Amino acid sequence: MSTRIALITGGNKGIGLETARQLGRQGITVLIGARDQARGTEAVNALKAEKIDAHLVNLEVTDKASIASAAAAVEKQFGHLDILINNAGWLDYAGESVASGVSDDTLRKTFDINFFGLVAVTQAFLPLIKKSPAGRIVNLTSILGSIAEHADPNSSIFNAKFLAYDSSKAAVNMFTNHLAHELKGTKIKVNAAHPGWVKTDMGGANAPLELGDGAKTSVTLATLADDGPTGGYYHLGVHMRW
């Protein structure tokens, strides 16, 4: 177990790929979880060209059979997992609406990817993480999942109301808190990471942060020392308001 193994869901592009790159540069073997095999292979090849030990894991976070198959494949090849970064996410700008008008379809699809899929992946891989000498679970959330921020008229996101996305990330925060509580006293640390407003397909070209900065919080939480925190909600070293 001298080499750490990290799985990043939705790791074939954007923040996920940059997170894999930064971890790989630290000598960590990175597993790119991707539902699109062609894009996943392209990402793996790009990382390998940078001398990073990268592998593709076919993984659709809303498909239980795909999750089970991915967990079995990782167990067979590596025997354990040190780091799980639940990065895959979804925001449907076109489907979002005021709270009284958001559709059932938008709510369900958003929760399926951002929350139910995240929980299912974590539960499937937890037995492998328990085999690690120092397991780390990082759940990608958002400042938009903070009820305290949404309730504060002085907050920068006070008027940014996307009910499906925001509530799914609030649920991720709650899962993070509960799982960390369950695993207290073990060597596994569970934290939520807000990457910031980053230039990605989701964030758009006007976002203030570059990919390198967007991956920093996840990388930091994935590589915490034994005396590091658990059960927290962070952005670039700062604990966020729940």
Q: Tokens 């590091």 label which residue?
A: 228
Within 13 A of 16's CA, how many CA atoms are on the CB side? 27
Q: H helices within 33-134, ranges in order?
A: 37-49, 64-78, 104-111, 117-129
Give the whole-angstrom CA distance, residue 207 versus residue 180: 31
Structure tokens at 198: 């980053």
Our answer to whether residue 93 is catalytic in this structure is no
Other beta carbons less than 10 A from residue 220's beta carbon: 17
The Cα angle at residue 8 between residues 68 and 171, in degrees rounded to 5: 80
Cα dist from 3 to 55, 74, 76, 92, whole Å: 14, 14, 16, 38
Give the whole-angstrom CA distance, residue 132 versus residue 135: 5
Helix axes 117-129, 64-78, angle to 10 degrees: 20
Q: Residue 55 gets which letter from DSSP?
A: E
Cα dist from 147 to 57, 122, 140, 208, whole Å: 34, 24, 16, 23
Where in the sequence numbering do the catalytic residues fall? 165
